[in-house]
A and B are shown apart, each in its own frame.
Chain A
Amino acid sequence: MPQIPLIIITYRDVFQWVANQRRVEHLPSVRISESDLNELGIADGDRVKFSNAAGSIVVQAKLDQDCRRGFGYMPISPYSNRLVSYDGSRARLPNFKRIEVLAQAYCDETG
């Protein structure tokens, strides 16, 4: 399966805030460009796995025609935080809003 580098940009989403207040479970998702979807060999709504040195997560990929190639937009959440790293000797702040990952299509082997 092809792997491609993506930069995940996180943001605050009011609907996610409301879902959290109502304790509604929601599948984390990322919005990416059509060309990145094609390169990953997945369709709108399929799952994608993001990995980096901090960890890995599986999220739903959604097509966003306005998204730049090479980037992914994702509401900030405990899921995106699994990919965030912090090393006070290299940066003042954790990279909460700009996370470099390797992306690949996710196939659930348990079926």
Chain B
Amino acid sequence: MLQWRGRPLDEVGYVLIGALALTLGTGAIYLNWQQAQRTSLQASQTRQAVGTIRQLLVMLYRGEAGQRGFLLTEEQGYLVPYQEAAEQLPKILERLHLLGEQQPAVRERVLEIDRLARAKMGELQTAVELLKEGDLVAAELLVRSNFGKQTMDQLVGKLEDLEKRVFVSEEKFSAELQEQMRRSAALTVICCVALFALFAIENRRVTNRKLAAERASEVKSAFLASMSHELRTPLNVIIGYTQMQQEEAEEAGRTSDLVDLKRIESAAKHLLVLINGVLELSKIEAGRLEVVPTEFGVEELVREVTGLVEPLAKRQGNGLTVDVGPEAGRMFSDATRIKQGLLNLTSNAAKFTAKGQITLRVSRVRRQDRDWIDFAVNDTGPGIRKDDLARLFEPFSQVDEQGPKQGGQQEGTGLGLVITRRLCRLLGGEVVVETAVGKGSTFTMQLPVEVTPGYFASKGAGPAVERRRVGAVVLGGDGEMLRGEIRKYGLEVETGWGGDGRPGLVAVGMDDWERVEQLKADPETAGIPVVMLGVGEEVLMKPVSNELLAAVILRHGTGEPSEAILVVGGGGTGLAGAIGRMGWRTVAASEGAEGLVKFGEERPGMVMVDLLMEGMDGFEFVRQLRLRADGREVPVVVMAEAGEEKRLRELGGAAMRKGGFPLARAAEQAAMMANRRMG
């Protein structure tokens, strides 16, 4: 297609025609309006002229009446109207001449009237003066001569004729004016149509451009995805050979080579992170990123992220403060995506701040009639210049020239903020920035507490997910204390069996085995997970739901990503797999003896153990573990089945307490409190 300044030529044609029509139309309306003004000016002049003619007539009659009265009575009073007429005549005639100038057609008549009026006035004047001099006879003769009457008759005839002519032209004016108004209206309509057409063309052009942009974005996403694939293949080769060479160098004791090989591997892995970032972004842009909303406790989520960021913050000598408001409560959103965003923001803050302070403040706020959770990450770093703010959310626009760098490693991808913003928008929220150069920056993720199902329906990004409430019922024990414990799981506490069905979890006090037996004996309640709350250690009664599992791990795990969770037993790889899918690193052992070996090798941050296993069972495992110096303090979660209570109690008495786990005293205290209450 032919183009003119980037636009197709036919479009340019329409725009030109439209613009021309608009210009001409506006011009015509202006001219027409000017003409109408002239017409109405003429009309008003004419009305004035008619007034002048009538005034002249009235004045002459009054002058004549005054003169006659004076002749008959010789009383001076009659001279007043006559004198007035004599004074005003020149002014009125002047106005009449103006009419003659405006309308050349009546100029002759105006001159005639002027002459007659002056003659009449002359006759009146002569008579009055003769009388004043005492010559009554001469004055009377003059009046009787009929000259005055003739002049007057002529004058009246001429004036009436003039008035008629002037009046006719006023009718014409009003017709003209109407015509001009009609023309203006028509022209206005034409202009409006032209304007509308121009608007429509422009609108279509914008729409076309938008469609083109969308198409371009799709193409770009597909390109990025395939490019990522092409990039990953050679990277696969580089990383693979490097690792192989490292193994060989290690075997041969070539330590100097090892350093260089590690550098190659780390650079290649960084490149991989970069490519993954690009891929992630393209997935979001293509609308292919699925949002999986679940219900979770805000505090738990924050704690998890904190564990990951802390080592990074400390490397630059920063302090990390986390402040989760007590009102933060629970959220129904995509925890993985929120974690990802939070991780991006906090690690960014840690990256650009040295020997400063990083604060993560989480609060629940009300905006636009909805509840939001604000995750605000504040740092005391260099801040961001105003000029840079605009580019901040653009890919690869990292503003790192003023930030402290750590020897050129781990500089990030420059995609973190872009991805975070997209993720937040995906969840119905936004990222906002406040910053001051030299003082620091605050990045805040503002996310709705609940991602509405309608949001997904409209985006087609995933099925509407039904919200699942996990309530917990506290039975027995010290109610308040247990409730507090339950809240640490991020679960809602219900005071009794809810009217609408079964709770997601039942919590019982420490050593309250009778109650567990009751629950497990009744088929109605046998399927509900039971957690026996002690302090420092947990006993989970099967079946164990994923939520419960996650809550327990979050409660006891250190949050250090480097530390694994050792799963002993757990039905083959089933439990370890479930925990692994939730994002934790797991080490699985099929029974107790293997578990002890793996414990020594891996030094896990937490242990989960089944009671019943082939080989060494859970009881013996815990006993052995607590006898070891390195196994005394690790948190152990025991998963028990109904029927194992009695031996478990023995174990609790014999092994756990004797082993001296960190919160043993608190556990004893809790048990005592519970007993007192129950007793």
Do A and B pair up? The answer is no
Binding site for A on B (CB under 8 A): none
Chain A residues within 8 Å of B, Cβ to Cβ: none
